[in-house]
């Protein structure tokens, strides 16, 4: 009996040792996967990240009480991957991950991570059309931190959400309330973005002269820091405003400068938008209807390649109006029918 027990104990010890080795190997494999997870995020390999989604989610769930800061990174990375890929069903999954990131930041009692997580979720809600949710998140964040500590992401994000709700007066109030902080504490790029939003808001309120003031400030900063995208946005805004004020020569000058910048940015959609605005400026001038038609045709040809039916429908409507001006009735009807069909 004694020998049998010793043999049994030996087998048990051997099984336990094997299990420990297997567990160590498994732990090493998971550690390697998580290291790869971080590297994939840094390289923006969103497909690769989602291939490790189940592993990352399980690890985050296991460590959320002992190491919530690292769990925050897991959920944040997965949310970003879903946001970037925008697959069917990915919107809801991204929101789940971003909400978990907020939960982890609270567990970690990490204010910086918490504010970042709230901003990220609010920004994603804006992208996906959940504007009221975004506004609620920004309000909760604003109540949590004082004015002097408000960062650009909060101010710009909240104002953007208000603009999308067409609450332009409220958006302007938020931006101007923080203008002293914007101009004294923010870096040049974030200042330029703030001026851009203020210029846009005044434009939507039809105060074109005030809009021009802020777009000129944006243009000045863009040239100082050599930021092509910021410069293009200012040129587009200035062209639009001068067009509405009837200063067509200045409008065309700014819009043409914007078109020169666009190939370097590689943004096909924006080329279509600028051509559309130029067409509108031409159409507003007597005797330039044929030039306007050419520009609207160019704009519609570009926008047909982009997934933006609203802008395409609007351009075709303007094209129909231009044909009507020269009494090309058949062409006008064709363009307007296409506009209506796309709008529907």
Instruction: Enumerate residues 6+ apart whose C-beta is below 8 A from 44.
Output: 84
pLDDT, position 70: 85
Q: Is residue 340 part of a domain?
A: yes
pLDDT digits (tens, 9 = 90+) for 207-265: 999 999 999 999 999 999 999 889 999 999 999 999 999 999 999 999 999 888 777 77
pLDDT-derived band at 147 (thresholds 50, 70, 90) equals: very low
Could you report the per-residue pLDDT of 159-179, keeping only the tens digit for each? 887 888 788 988 888 888 778
Residue 71 resides in a domain = no
As for how many domains the chain has, the answer is 1
The verdict on residue 279 lying in a domain is yes
pTM over 0.85: no
* 47 compared with 35, residue with greater pLDDT: 47
Q: What pLDDT is stored for residue 216 in this prediction?
A: 97
Is 28's pLDDT higher than 60? Answer: no
CATH code where residue 321 lies = 1.25.40.10
Q: pLDDT at residue 8 above 70?
A: no
Task: Please indicate, yes or no, if residue 318 is contained in any of the structural domains.
Answer: yes
Q: Is residue 289 part of a domain?
A: yes
pLDDT score, position 18: 46
User: Which residue range is the domain that position 324 belongs to?
Assistant: 267-344
Whether 147 maps to a domain, the answer reads: no
Tell whether 330 is covered by a domain: yes
Determine, yes or no, domain membership for 284.
yes
pLDDT at residue 9 is higher than 70: no
């Amino acid at each position: 009996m004694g020998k049998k027990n010793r043999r049994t104990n030996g087998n048990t010890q051997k099984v336990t040792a094997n299990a420990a080795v297997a567990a160590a190997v498994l732990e090493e494999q998971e550690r390697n996967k998580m290291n790869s997870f971080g590297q994939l995020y840094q390289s923006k390999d969103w497909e690769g990240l989602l291939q490790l989604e189940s592993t990352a989610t399980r690890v985050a769930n296991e460590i959320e009480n002992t190491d919530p800061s690292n769990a925050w990174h897991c959920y944040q990375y997965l949310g970003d991957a879903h946001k970037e890929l925008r697959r069917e069903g990915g919107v809801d999954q991204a929101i789940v991950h971003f909400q978990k990131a907020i939960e982890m930041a609270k567990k970690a009692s990490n204010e910086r991570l918490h504010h970042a997580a709230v901003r990220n979720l609010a920004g994603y809600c804006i992208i996906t059309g959940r504007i009221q949710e975004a506004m609620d998140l920004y309000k909760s964040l604003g109540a949590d931190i004082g004015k002097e500590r408000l960062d650009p992401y909060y101010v710009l994000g909240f104002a953007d959400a208000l603009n999308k709700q067409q609450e332009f007066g409220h958006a302007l109030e938020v931006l101007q309330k923080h203008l002293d902080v914007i101009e004294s504490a923010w870096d040049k790029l974030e200042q330029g973005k703030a001026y851009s939003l203020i210029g846009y808001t005044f434009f939507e309120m039809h105060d074109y002269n005030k809009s021009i003031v802020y777009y000129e400030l944006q243009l000045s900063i863009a040239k100082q820091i050599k930021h092509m995208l910021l410069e293009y946005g200012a040129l587009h805004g200035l062209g639009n405003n001068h067009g509405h004020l009837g200063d067509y020569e200045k409008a065309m000058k700014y819009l043409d400068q914007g078109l020169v910048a666009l190939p370097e940015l590689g943004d096909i959609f924006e080329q279509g938008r600028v051509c559309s605005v130029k067409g509108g400026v031409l159409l507003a001038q007597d005797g330039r209807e044929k030039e306007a038609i050419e520009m609207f045709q160019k704009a519609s040809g570009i926008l047909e390649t982009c997934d933006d039916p609203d802008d395409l429908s609007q351009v075709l409507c303007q094209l129909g109006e231009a044909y009507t001006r020269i009494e090309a009735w058949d062409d006008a009807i064709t363009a307007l029918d296409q506009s209506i069909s796309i709008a529907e």
